[in-house]
């Protein structure tokens, strides 16, 4: 796991996110970061109880009774749990799928239904797509668990790139295309599940951060039920459809000087009464981290309403990826999906900051 430089004592970074074009909301929130005692996710493939393992994706959390669970993945998900965010290492196990695939599956999002069923969504990296290379092109699949994610039933792939867009001649170090590196959030009325995904395939106009959705009622039979946002409508199929990114790539992912947002992590902020998205920004073909960005939106049903991303953190290691907000109020059962005015900011499984959202 990468180490992250501690911020100088008493340093507070304050970012006023006000009026910057038609995509920004009026009177946008102010984001403040301040140093805090470090918290580490247990991670995947943990080498010892006192040493964290890897965190190679978004890390979803959920409550089950008095236990808070987190999934950390690095090719395969591991589950840890405890009574709160500070004590997540009290239980630890390697989760299991009911089937096998020709590639790794990272659990990047979860949602627990009222009947106790846990739904999860995974980032899948199939092997052998570009023979003679390590390149892959991710897809997004759905899964279901009856025991809080100890065992998963694979429900199938629900999001993938258009046919004919695989680019095995890419300059990109990891991907020849695909859809992946995502999060999923259920809307406040529990009608729609929204997927915020990274798109690496096709023309640069289709690369960046895109949105898709599926009716919550279709969660047990999701294949063919997800629709991508394209040209102002939820009109393209999740498997093979086109997208209109909400944050298009600035420079093609397949060039050496790639420049694009990716890896969105979204939560509902009950203090702001808005959705908040954190993003990575890659500045070359090796995905060197340029910084962590934030965007706001009042309604996920309106993809064009997301505000222009603003940088809130820089000076991270080259692989300082996967920023996410995690609520720390156990009484309100906060997680990566729900947070309030003050929460913790995690980057690659480590939190060295509190993050404050001011109205």
Locus of tokens 């040209």? 231
The verdict on residue 82 lying in a domain is: no
* Tens-level pLDDT at each residue, the chain (359 residues): 333 434 433 333 444 433 333 344 457 899 999 999 999 999 999 999 889 999 999 999 999 999 999 999 999 999 999 999 999 999 999 999 999 999 999 999 999 999 999 999 999 999 999 999 999 999 999 999 999 999 999 999 999 999 999 999 999 999 999 999 999 999 999 999 999 999 999 999 999 999 999 999 999 999 999 999 999 999 999 999 999 999 999 999 999 999 999 999 999 999 999 999 999 999 999 999 999 999 999 999 999 999 999 999 999 999 999 999 999 999 999 999 999 999 999 999 999 999 999 98
The verdict on residue 53 lying in a domain is: no
* Rounded Cα gap, residues 335 and 106, in angstroms: 19
Pick left, alpha or beta for residue 291 (phi over 0 → left; psi -120 to 50 → alpha; otherwise beta). Answer: left
Locus of tokens 């008493």? 10
In sequence order, which residues have a C-beta less than 8 Å from that of residue 291 and are 6 or more positions away?
281, 311, 312, 313, 314, 316
Distances (CA, A) of 16 to 19, 151, 236, 276, 354: 10, 44, 36, 15, 17
3-state secondary structure of 323: strand
The verdict on residue 174 lying in a domain is: yes
- Give residue 359's pLDDT: 87
Report the number of distinct structural domains present in the chain. 1
In sequence order, which residues have a C-beta less than 8 Å from that of residue 343 and are 6 or more positions away?
325, 326, 327, 328, 334, 354, 355, 357
CB distance 52 to 43 below 8 Å: yes
- Give residue 137's pLDDT: 98
Domain of 220, in residue numbers? 102-142+157-255
The verdict on residue 184 lying in a domain is: yes
Give the sign of the dihedral formed by CA 337, CA 343, CA 345, CA 350: negative
The verdict on residue 201 lying in a domain is: yes
The verdict on residue 114 lying in a domain is: yes
The verdict on residue 278 lying in a domain is: no
The verdict on residue 68 lying in a domain is: no
């Amino acid at each position: 796991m990468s180490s992250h430089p501690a911020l100088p004592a008493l340093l507070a970074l304050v970012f006023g996110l006000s009026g910057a074009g038609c995509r920004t909301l009026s009177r946008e929130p102010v984001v403040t970061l301040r140093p805090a005692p470090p918290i580490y996710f247990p991670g995947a493939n943990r080498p010892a109880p006192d040493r964290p393992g890897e965190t190679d994706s978004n890390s979803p959390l959920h409550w089950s009774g008095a236990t808070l669970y987190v999934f950390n993945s690095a090719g395969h998900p591991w589950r840890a749990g405890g009574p709160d965010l500070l004590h997540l290492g009290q239980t630890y196990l390697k989760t299991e799928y009911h089937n096998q695939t020709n590639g790794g599956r990272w659990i990047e999002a979860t949602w627990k239904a009222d009947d106790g069923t846990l739904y999860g969504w995974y980032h899948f990296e199939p092997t052998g797509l570009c023979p003679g290379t390590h390149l892959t092109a991710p897809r997004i699949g759905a899964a279901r668990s009856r025991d809080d994610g100890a065992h998963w039933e694979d429900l199938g792939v629900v999001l993938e790139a258009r046919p004919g867009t695989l680019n095995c001649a890419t300059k990109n170090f990891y991907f020849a295309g695909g859809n992946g590196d995502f999060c999923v959030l259920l809307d406040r009325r529990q009608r729609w599940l929204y997927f915020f995904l990274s798109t690496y395939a096709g023309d640069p106009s289709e690369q960046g951060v895109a949105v898709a959705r599926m009716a919550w009622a279709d969660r047990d039979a999701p294949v063919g039920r997800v629709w991508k946002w394209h040209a102002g409508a939820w009109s393209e199929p999740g498997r093979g459809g086109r997208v209109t990114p909400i944050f298009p790539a600035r420079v093609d992912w397949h060039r050496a000087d790639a420049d694009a947002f990716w890896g969105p992590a979204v939560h509902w902020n009950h203090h702001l009464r808005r959705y908040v998205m954190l993003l990575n920004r890659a500045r070359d073909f090796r995905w060197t981290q340029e910084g962590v960005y934030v965007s706001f939106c009042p309604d996920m049903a309106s993809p064009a309403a997301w505000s222009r991303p603003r940088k809130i953190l820089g000076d991270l290691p080259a692989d300082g990826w996967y920023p996410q907000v995690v609520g720390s109020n156990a009484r309100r059962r906060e997680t990566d999906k729900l947070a309030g005015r003050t929460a913790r900011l995690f980057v690659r499984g480590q939190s060295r900051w509190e993050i404050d959202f001011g109205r």
